[in-house]
Structures are given as structure tokens and as C-alpha cells.
Structure 1
């Protein structure tokens, strides 16, 4: 028990210290969580030695984060805000595949590695981008909704990607298991389409008794969030997507207005654990000996993703200022990319060195994300950079 308490106290102390420093530098706390994981990880101080276990607990934080996001977002009644994201994300997938094959051909990578690089390009961090939009009060703007819907469509693609990895490894898979995630995705689309015009979903009088009982509120809220996540995971989708759908539905139920106040402390704590687990995975010695390659890879990801996304937004007739800003928001690789890396390594699709490189590039792109946005913003403000 003493060891556990020491570990938790050191985690809180380290995270607080880095957070105070980043607050002065006006940087997001996400960086503090990852840096705390690096400092306390097995490759530095050794306070925590099992990143897999902490990641499993931390994934509850991502579910809660997506749940709150679903509660806050309005499902657009405008058809273009539903169709445009699908078009934009489809173009991005095509450009990502072209970019990955070009890089792989130049470096001389195997087909397995090239396809995994394409996956890393496709999956941005929904958690990081949504928090950034919320912090800057642009989540509910037309452009913010457009970006968020792109990320939701991207998350829907996680199921077929994971299915592809399983089939690639020649695991046992039936036609029913392969089709179930696709059918669930179609069902989710029709649910969102149905409730976009609904002002309020009414529940029986029984549920109103929960409003004045805090204990019932906490456990009811967790059951709704985690239960939908479990259903989505069972169907072959991501648990975070299931929690998001739960949030969208709950957001239309006035009886559950208390949920945000009851669950937000859980969200903060578990989200912290998730990003701490990412920091725990970073091997400092490996980064040191391969620093140039990983740093170059992270900058290549940020720049190429920004350019591809900016081109897509421009094709959709956004002005150059919004296009470059949207490109910066979708520049990093995210948590689902890390999941794909882990599965590809465990199933023998990629070798250990590529797993370490991909993990380092992903984490570094997340750390440099806000700095990259600040740099692009300054460039955007210069009229000479923006074409007329």
C-alpha cells in the first residue's frame, strides 16, 4: 500500500509541477501529462513500470471525454455539415495512401510498413483536437463542427482497420464478425440522422427521482457512458465512439442535465492517466540514439498532414486562412494510431524498431501540436504567406 501511495503522490506532484510551468508558458496541460509519464516511466525514474495496465485504466478517460463531447455538440441539421466531412475524410485517406507509398518507396519500406504509415496519417487525435476547439470556444462554430464530424467519421473507420489487421494476421474471422461493425456504423448514421431534428428526448417519470440523489447520479452516468462503450466494443467498434453516441443521446435529455457536474472529476483523472500511459511508453535511450530520424519524422507528419488537410479544406471552398488553420488542427497523429501500432507489433506485422519509431513520432507530434499551430497562426497573419 505504501508503494502505491508513493507512486500516486509522485504522479500528482510531478504533474502539478509541470502544469504550473506550462500555465506560465500558455501551453495545454496535455503536454504535462505526457511529460509526467516520461519522467515517471520505466526508462527514467522507474516509478511506473507497466504502461499497458495504466493505459487500460486511462482508456476510461477517453470514453468519458468523448461522452462529454457528445453531450455538448449539436448534431447539425444542415445536410452539408454531414456530407462535407465524409468527402473531406475520404480525400484525406486517398492523399495519405499516396503520401505513405511515396515515402515507403523512397526509404525502401515493406508493404506492411507502408500501409501502417498510411493508417498513422489517417487517424488524428479526436481527444486532443476536440479539447483544443473547446478551449478556444470554436467547437460549436460551423468550421468546428465540420472538423469534429471529420474526426467522428475517422473514428468510425477504426473498426474496419482493426478488422483488416486481424485478417492480415490470419486470425479466425467469420463473415458475421466482419459485417457486424459495418452494420453498426450504418445504424449509428441513421441514429444521428434521426435525432438531429429532435429538440428533446423524454424519459419516464421514474428517472426524475435521480435528479436529487448525487450517488445515483454518479453510478447512473458511469453506467450509461461505459455501457454504451462496452456495446460498441462488443460490436467491433471503438469504446470511445460508443460513449460519444451515448453523450449525443443524453445531451437531448433534460432530465440528465446534472451528469456533467457529477462525472467531470472522473473525466479529468482518467484522461490524465491515458496520456501518462503514452509518456510511459517512450524509451528515452532509444529516442536519444534515433533522435534525428524521429524528430524529422514528427515534423514530416505535422507538415504533410497540414498541407494535405489545407488542400482538402480549400477544395471545399474555405478561404486560405481557415484552410491552413484546419490543416494545423489535423496535423498530428493520435491515440488510435498508437493502438494500430501496438496491434501491428503484437501480431508480428511490423518489427520492433518500426514500432518504437512510430510510437516516438506519434508522441512527439502530440507534444509539438500546439507549438505547430502557434507557428502556423503567425505565418497566416502575414499577408505575404496567404495567397489572394
Structure 2
């Protein structure tokens, strides 16, 4: 009984802390999901230890995964990305190719398995939809051309997550990826592609169960979630990822005539379950592992922050967008996404990743997400440059962080001069004290050697 009361007390403390941290992040102009992750990290087993059962935490995380993919599927507007689908598709495919290539190169240096290299390659290619949308809202670019391009790329990434999950889930066989696993992946991707084509070309679907519930305030959210979890269960029974079924359910509802009604009734429940998902990510953080492997984590995060951003900027610019827009979209897409946790969880469950590999991906993603305030400030500056009508890439770089780079250069020069002066002073001091030190050791100077010895 005491253990039960302790569990309930711990859940209550975690919920209150998540709310407080979420409000704090919103006050700072950051996404509330960062506050949920922070609350979980503080109250998790690695710090205070209010919640210590990692198996229960993983169960909550998997429940949040289903809800997240269901919500993403409902939010996808397949008709809304027609104008930017070429940019979105080409950018996403090349992001995946470069991410895999870079992680295979880094993995050969660090001694990773090919499964881990592939999973981290997928992770690097993805960006956070929640953080990116928050950035676009903060700078007022959500409904502009920059917002269309960025959202289009995020939608393409969300769609690419489904085959990624299927591929990672097929790694668990003893003999690697067999023909049956390859067939399942190919058929699942083909079915998803056909469903997308069907939903984007026809009028919106009419869901049969909506008429049966008649808009009842109690039955509507229950029917929506039952459709999500039921489809996830069917997907799991077929040997596929349950998250794949949840995504398909959200995609169908999102392109139906009842989308607004179902979304309005299920939004509060989805918000709570999504909070649970991000909170569980914070609870799973192992700070001891992070400290012991801080070099590897920072190396991967630096690779993502620099090379991913630069690649996105160049790619979007070469695909026809002017350079300020390309810089803005590239900065917004810089951080890793919440789907990284999903891929890591699937890899761990299938046996493709070890527990240490899972902790590495969680640590890298959390550190990347916690760096989003820097990218938000960058996006704000780039937004101001875009409003000025500047189209030069060199001028954009100069106006974005020109002052900081100049200050860094000046401080570096001052530090260099200070080191030179310190070295000169040290040499003079050594030269001045050398005769005294030699006399203290009984060595006579040249003047003393000229004098005759005393009697």
C-alpha cells in the first residue's frame, strides 16, 4: 500500500514539475516540450530519483509515441505541400543520404556497428517539428514562403519516418535483415505511398463511426483514440511497428470530413499524452552516461549543428530560394527531432541497439534540443534581415553574427597580445633572477672569477 501511495505521489510531483517547467519555458519564449524534458531529467533516476522504474517509463514513452504519430498524421495537410513538394522531397532525400554517409564515416572512426550508424544517420536527418513550428510562430513566418518551405520539409521528414521505423524494426533478426523483413518494409512503404496518393487526389473521406457516435462529447474522443490504438494493434499483429498503424490512423482522420470535430475533442487528451512522451524522455536521461561520454556526444551534436545547418542552407538556396530565406529555413531545421527517440526505442525493442546505444541517442538528441534557444535567436535575426530585403548571402552572414564574430576576433587578438606580453615579461624575469640564483648555488659570476681568492 505504501509503495502504491509512493507511486501516486511521485506521479503527482512529476506532473506539477512538468507544468512549472513548461510555463517557465513559455515565459522564456521557448517550446513547452523543452520544459517537460527538463522536468523529467531533474526528477528522473539520474538526479532526484522521484521516479526510478525505467520499465514503466519506457511503457509511458511508447504510449506517447503512438499518440505523437497519431497527432502528426492528423496535422499533415497533403494538399498544402503541393507548391513546395519538389524542394521538400529533394531536401529530405539528400538529408537522409548525407546523414547516413556522415554517420557511417564517423561510425568507422568510433567503432560503431552498422545498425547504430544507420539509426544515428536517420536521427541526424530529422528535425523537430514541435520546435520548428514554435520558431516559425515566434518570428511570424508560419504562413509565409519560408514557413511553407520549412513545413513542407518537415512533412516530408514525417512521412520518411515511417519507412525508417520499419527498417530499424527489421534489424532484430538473428541473421540480420531477411527477405521476409525486406518484403514487409517494401509492401508497407508501397501501401503508405498509395494511401497518400489516394487521400491527396480525392475528396475528403467520410468515416463510418462518426455518424454512429453522433457528435457525443464523451464518445467522440474515445472513438478517435480507439481508432488510433486499434489500428496500432492490427499493425503490431501483422509484425509491423504499432507506431506505423497509429500514423496511418492519424493520416486517415486528418484527411476526412470529420477532422476538425475529432481534433477539437481529442486535442486535450493528445496534449497530456504528448507531455507524458517528452517527460518520459527526460526521465530516461542517464547523466552519468552523459558525463562519461561527453566527448562523443558533443562531437555528434557539433556535427549536426554545423554541417546539417550548412548543408540545409546550401541545398535550399540551390533549389531556388533566395539566401536569406535559405539561411532562415536552415537555422530552423538545425536541431534533432522528437522522432529520434522513437527510432531509438524501436531499435532497442527489436534488439538492434544495445542499452548503451539507446542512451547515446537519447543524450545526443536532448543536448541538441536544449540548444534550440540559440537557433531561435538566429532565426529572429535572420527574420529581420529578410524584412530588409537583403538577398546577398555574404551580407546575411555579416549582419547575423557579424558583431559577435568581430568581438570574438578582437578578444582573441587581445588574448594573443596578452600571452605575448606575458611571455616577454617571463623571459625578462628569468634573465633578471638568473645571476642571483647562480650565486645562491655557489657558482661565481664572471666578475667574481677575476678576483684572486682570499687568504
TM over 0.5: yes
Q: What RMSD, in angstroms, separates the aligned Cα atoms of the two structures?
A: 3.4
Task: From 358, 374, 381, give the equivalent of 2:377.
Answer: 374
Structure 2 vs 1, CA of residues 232 and 343 (structure 1 numbering), >3 Å: closer, same or farther?
closer
How many angstroms does 1:84 deviate by? 4.0
Q: Is 1:76 matched up with 2:79? A: yes
Q: Which residue is 1:109 aligned to? A: 111
CA contact (8 A) 2:127 2:337 kept: yes
Q: Which residue is 1:386 aligned to? A: 396
Structure 1 range deviating more: 295-304 or 124-133: 124-133
How many angstroms does 1:129 deviate by? 4.1
Structure 2 vs 1, CA of residues 249 and 356 (structure 1 numbering), >3 Å: closer, same or farther?
closer
- Spell out, residue by residue over 1:54-84, the C-alpha distance to the aligned partner (whole angstroms, 9 max, x if none): 2322333343344344334321277564444
Matches within 5 A, 1:307-318: 307-318=310-321
The separation in 1 between residues aligned to 2:339 and 2:205, in whole angstroms, is 32
Instruction: Pick 1 or 2: higher relative contact order, CA cutoff 8 A, min separation 6.
Output: 1
- Spell out, residue by residue over 1:4-55, the C-alpha distance to the aligned partner (whole angstroms, 9 max, x if none): 2211220122122222322321111111111111111111111111234223
Q: Which residue is 2:167 aligned to? A: 161
The separation in 2 between residues aligned to 1:243 and 1:350, in whole angstroms, is 23
Q: Which residue is 1:277 aligned to? A: 280
Q: Which residue is 1:200 aligned to? A: 204
Task: From 98, 120, 124, give the equivalent of 1:121.
Answer: 124
Q: Which residue is 1:152 aligned to? A: 158
- Stretches of structure 1 that go unaligned for 5 or more consecutive residues are none
* Structure 1 counterpart SS, 2:214: helix
Which structure has the larger Rg?
Answer: 2
Structure 2 vs 1, CA of residues 96 and 367 (structure 1 numbering), >3 Å: closer, same or farther?
same
* Structure 1 counterpart SS, 2:201: coil
The separation in 1 between residues aligned to 2:258 and 2:351, in whole angstroms, is 49
Q: Is 1:175 matched up with 2:172? A: no
The separation in 1 between residues aligned to 2:90 and 2:239, in whole angstroms, is 24
CA contact (8 A) 1:307 1:327 kept: yes
CA contact (8 A) 1:324 1:380 kept: no
Q: Is 1:219 matched up with 2:231? A: no
The separation in 1 between residues aligned to 2:353 and 2:249, in whole angstroms, is 35
Query: What is the aligned length?
Result: 384
The separation in 1 between residues aligned to 2:234 and 2:395, in whole angstroms, is 48
Structure 2 vs 1, CA of residues 199 and 282 (structure 1 numbering), >3 Å: closer, same or farther?
same
Structure 2 vs 1, CA of residues 130 and 230 (structure 1 numbering), >3 Å: closer, same or farther?
farther
* Structure 2 counterpart SS, 1:27: coil
The separation in 2 between residues aligned to 1:63 and 1:108, in whole angstroms, is 33
* Structure 2 counterpart SS, 1:64: helix
The separation in 1 between residues aligned to 2:298 and 2:133, in whole angstroms, is 25
How many angstroms does 1:277 deviate by? 1.4
Structure 1 range deviating more: 360-369 or 314-323: 314-323
Q: Which residue is 1:47 aligned to? A: 50
Matches within 5 A, 1:351-362: 355-362=358-365
Q: Is 1:142 matched up with 2:148? A: yes
Task: From 257, 262, 286, give the equivalent of 1:254.
Answer: 257
Structure 2 vs 1, CA of residues 230 and 125 (structure 1 numbering), >3 Å: closer, same or farther?
farther
How many angstroms does 1:308 deviate by? 2.0
Structure 1 range deviating more: 351-360 or 39-48: 351-360
CA contact (8 A) 1:77 1:196 kept: no
How many angstroms does 1:2 deviate by? 1.6
Structure 2 vs 1, CA of residues 270 and 253 (structure 1 numbering), >3 Å: closer, same or farther?
same
Structure 1 range deviating more: 151-160 or 238-247: 238-247
CA contact (8 A) 1:314 1:323 kept: yes
Calculate the TM-score normalised by the size of structure 2: 0.73
Q: Is 1:365 matched up with 2:371? A: no
Calculate the TM-score normalised by the size of structure 1: 0.84
Structure 2 vs 1, CA of residues 323 and 56 (structure 1 numbering), >3 Å: closer, same or farther?
farther
CA contact (8 A) 2:77 2:255 kept: no
- Spell out, residue by residue over 1:207-259, the C-alpha distance to the aligned partner (whole angstroms, 9 max, x if none): 43523422221221111122233344445555444333323322343346421
How many angstroms does 1:144 deviate by? 4.1
Q: Which residue is 2:67 aligned to? A: 64
Matches within 5 A, 1:81-96: 81-96=84-99
